[in-house]
Amino acid sequence: MSFTSVVFYVLSAILIFSSFKVITAKNPVHAALYLVLAFVTSAGHWMLLESEFLAITLVLVYVGAVMVLFLFVLMMLDINIEKMREGFWRHFPLAGVIAAVMMGEMSLVLMRPEARLAEYTPRAALPADFSNIRELGLLLYTRYLYPFELASMVLLVAIVAAIALTMRKRKDTKFVNPGDQVAVRRNDRVRIVKMEAEKPAAAGDDAAAADQQQA
């Protein structure tokens, strides 16, 4: 077993373990930290494939920006995640059995000789001056122009959807529009109500009121 294979298996074991902990950890902050671990180990996989740029981007963008923001939010809010996923542990045994059966079946299929996995040999190492970024840039803006533009559309939908779902006018805000204040008319503020002049109460009512006071 070559050194690369050893690194691959070690990284994969850490990746599977941390992904599993992401969904089972009781403390949301721990779950987020395990997710960071998962990202870092996946970046290690990119490194093994000699895609240094993607590896660094994964760490910079996901770990450096997205997860830090996410951790901030998690620490600000006091979320009781155990309450939010009631029934998780109750259904866990059944789901676990199904997952184990699926995994067993998949590995049975893939480990058969007909899968001819041995044919997939590692490709020759790239020359030292090979530039990942250059190749990516060339492909992204030429061959993969269309999917690249579509990805930008997906991001735009995400923005529109996030705004549509979260932006609301607050009812308790004290903001007043100065334009409305200037444009106000007397009729908007003062209402003159005509009322009948009050008549002196009848003698019987007075007696009743006095009774009530005594009681």
Partner 1 sequence: MNWSDLNLMLALPEVVLLLAILAILLIDLFIPEDRKSVTYGLTLLTLVGLTAVQIVGFPAAPATTFSTMYISDPLASVVKIAMYAATFCVLVYGRQYNAARGMERGDYYTLTLFALLGMNVMVSASSFLTLYMGLELLSLALYALIAIQRDSMPGVEASMKYFVLGALASGLLLYGISMVYGATGTLDIATVARAIHAGNTNALLLTFGLVFLVAGLCFKLGAVPFHMWVPDVYHGSPTSVTMMIGAAPKLAAFVFILRILVQGLDALAVHWQGMLVLVSILSMLIGNVTAIAQTNIKRMLAYSTISHMGFLLLGVLAATPEGYSAALYYAVVYVFTSLVGFGILLVLSRKGFDCEKLSDLAGLNQRNSWYALLMLLAMFSMAGIPPMAGFYAKFAVISAVAHIGMVPLAVFAVLMSLIGAFYYLRVVKVIYFDAAEDNNEITVAGDIKLLLSLNAVALLVFGIVPDRLIEVCFAAVKQSLVLM
Q: Which residues bind partner 1 (CB under 8 A)?
A: 106, 109-110, 112, 114-116, 119-120, 142-147, 150-151, 153-154, 156-158, 160-161, 163-166, 168
Nearer residue to partner 1 within complex by CB, 45 or 64: 45
CB atoms within 10 A of CB 22: 17
Nearer residue to partner 1 within complex by CB, 97 or 161: 161
Nearer residue to partner 1 within complex by CB, 6 or 134: 134
Q: Smallest gap, in angstroms, from Cβ of residue 80 to partner 1? A: 18
Q: Smallest gap, in angstroms, from Cβ of residue 165 to partner 1? A: 6
CA distance 65 to 103: 33
Nearer residue to partner 1 within complex by CB, 49 or 68: 49
* Helix residue spans in the chain (DSSP H): 3-24, 28-48, 52-57, 68-76, 81-84, 88-110, 132-140, 145-166, 178-182, 186-189, 203-214
Q: Smallest gap, in angstroms, from Cβ of residue 163 to partner 1? A: 7
DSSP secondary structure string for all residues of 173-204: -----HHHHHT--HHHH------PPPPPPPHH
Q: Smallest gap, in angstroms, from Cβ of residue 116 to partner 1? A: 6
